Amino acid sequence: MDGHPWQRRAKAAGLTQTTLARLLGHSESTVSRQLRGHWQSGIPRHVIAAVIAWEVMTPHQRADWIEAVDRTAEEPASAVS
């Protein structure tokens, strides 16, 4: 994950492509394409927002975010509002 500005920025913040994919619920290949702007509209805003959020979070907040995403992913679809 490097070469393109948002890839470099995520990497500099310690955010791996694997973790970003996990947080966004996308495959790693989708996240890679998103970070490189391989969308008609460029880099999706939710990807940019996730990278910026990661940059400003403490390590504890980051761990809480990952835990919350994992917990939500494990819930039955009817339990997610």
Confidence (pTM)? 0.82
- pLDDT of 12 reads 95
pLDDT of amino acid 49: 97
pLDDT of 2 > 70? The answer is no
Q: What pLDDT score was predicted for residue 81?
A: 53
Residues 9-66 have pLDDT tens digits of 999 999 999 999 999 999 999 999 898 887 777 899 999 999 999 999 999 999 999 9
Q: Is 42 helix (H, G, I), strand (E, B) or coil?
A: coil
Rounded CA separation 27/66 (Å): 16
Q: Select the more confidently predicted residue: 72 or 3.
A: 72
The C-alpha atoms of residue 4 and residue 59 are separated, in whole angstroms, by 25
